[in-house]
Amino acid sequence: MSQSMPAETDVFVIGGGPAGLAAAITARQSGFRVVVADGAQPPIDKACGEGFLPDGLEALERLGISLPLSETYPFRGVRFLTSSLSAEARFPGGGSGLAVRRTVLHSAMVERADQLGADLLWRTAVTGISSDGVQVGGRCIRARWIVGADGSNSRVRRWAGLVGGAKPRLRYAFRQHYRVAPWTDSMEVYWGDRCQGYATAVNRDEVCVALASHDHGMRLEDGLFELPALGAHLRNAEPVSSEKGALTGNRKLKHVWRGNVALIGDASGTVDAISGEGLGLAFRQAVVLAGCFESGDLARYQVEHRRLSLRPRWMARMMLNLDGRPRLQQRTLQAFCKHPQVFHKLLGLHVGAVPPLDVLRDGLMLGWDLLTA
């Protein structure tokens, strides 16, 4: 793995998580010299749901990343559950998503970036940026473009003067893995009065369980008590990872580029984890950004970034309308059970397989059922 420090490069990526590596990979696929710097040592872990929806999986394949089959698990759809009801929808066209441990994904992406010839600088702190390049270890590495991929608390965003936008209403999320045989081939969302639980099998022997709540004091153990159906599946299961926490929420920035600096992934704004689109969205942003490097037009990245974010952000807001509203949750699942095609089309819209107009009529039917339930 490369650890040399060149004097100059075409693209300097600050942040070596999945978003930064995706930017590095697509830039290398376009023939640009690339340097990636991160203060951590791979594999880098983070609390997340660890699932790719079908559209995100397509983006992953476009990066040329191969994941070991023994360390992944396919899922065919999404299931919503309350204390008394459940509704399920399959992905359109027999498609599937794929779940994988974050550390497994990161290792595969590091290998791909290294294979393509990116210079990877781990345990390397970036201390500033300028119009000429990036400050690393007391020296300046000249760069034509700088990519900020350093997360939701991005220093690159502050350095570039790209702060702004409304502050999101954040939720507190926690994640842990359990050794237990998968009990479903769906990504499951459990709706409770004060939280949501998420369960996705990541291989034949492990399930990733996540919890999200507005209560900063709620942890996984508390959430499983409030979500007894999920807790029952894990009653005799052994935890095989430590509990990790993160903040999640929708955050939209006014601008995601300035001069020769572009932001990607959580540094460029966030979509609540309930959408399941964080990683897939970052990978699609990386493809667009590489095209903008080729054309030399970062202004187009602003337009395309906003377009890519519209659907995931809208779907996240729609699902969050159920948060903390048990009566609305119950009515929604009753409507889904009565009209399963509505849930199916909404899921198709969510993964970009169904045009919005195709959902309009069924959406009106759902709205009527919610009003008259």
Say if residue 244 is in the same domain as residue 266: no
Would you place residue 367 in the very low, low, confident or very high pLDDT band (cuts 50, 70, 90)? low
Indicate whether 332 and 194 sit together in one domain.
no
Q: What is the pLDDT of residue 371?
A: 46
Same-domain status, 155 and 183: no
For residues 175 and 85, state if they share a domain. yes
| Domain region containing 83 | 51-101+168-248
On whether residue 1 sits in a domain, the answer given is no
222/352 same-domain check: no
- Give me the percent of the chain exceeding a pLDDT of 90: 71
3-state secondary structure the chain: CCCCCCCEEEEEEECCCHHHHHHHHHHHHCCCCEEEEECCCCCCCCCCCCEECHHHHHHHHHCCCCCCHHHEEEECEEEEECCCCEEEEECHHHCCEEEECHHHHHHHHHHHHHHCCCEEEECCCEEEECCCEEEECCEEEEEEEEEECCCCCCHHHHHCCCCCCCCCCCEEEEEEEEECCCCCCEEEEEECCCEEEEEEEEECCEEEEEEEECCCCCCHHHHHHHCHHHHHHCCCCEECCCCEEEEECCEECCCCEECCEEECHHHHEECCHHHCCHHHHHHHHHHHHHHHHHHCCCHHHHHHHHHHHHHHHHHHHHHHCCCCCHHHHHHHHHHHHHCHHHHHHHHHHHCCCCCHHHHHHHHHHHHHHHHHC
Counting the structural domains of the chain, the total is: 3
Q: Please check the confidence at residue 145 and state whether its pLDDT lies above 80.
A: yes
Examine residue 89 and state whether it is found in any structural domain, yes or no: yes
pLDDT digits (tens, 9 = 90+) for 271-287: 988 888 889 999 999 99
The answer to the question of residue 191 being in a domain is yes
In a domain, 2, yes or no: no
Whole-model pTM: value is 0.93
Q: Do 129 and 254 reside in the same domain of the chain? A: yes
Residue 94 sits in a domain whose CATH number is: 3.30.9.100
Residue 124 shares a structural domain with residue 270: yes
Q: Indicate whether 337 and 365 sit together in one domain.
A: yes
Asked which of 248, 271, 289 is the last residue of a domain, the reply is 248
Q: Are residues 241 and 337 in the same domain?
A: no
295 and 150 inside one domain: yes
Residue 199, in any domain of the structure: yes
Q: Residue 310 sits in a domain of what CATH number?
A: 3.50.50.60
Q: Which of 277, 294, 317 is the last residue of a domain?
A: 317
* Within-domain flag for 218: yes
172/229 same-domain check: yes
Model pLDDT for residues 228-272, shown as the tens digit of each residue = 999 999 999 999 999 999 999 889 999 999 999 999 999 999 998
The answer to which of 134-138, 146-150, 161-165 has the lowest mean pLDDT is 161-165
62 and 180 assigned to the same domain:
yes
Q: Which of 230, 248, 266 is the last residue of a domain?
A: 248
Does residue 77 sit within a domain? yes
Across the chain, mean pLDDT equals: 91
Q: By mean pLDDT, which of 121-125, 229-233, 238-242, 348-352 is the weakest?
A: 348-352
Does any domain span residue 3? no
Structure-model confidence comparison of residues 364 and 125, the more confident one: 125
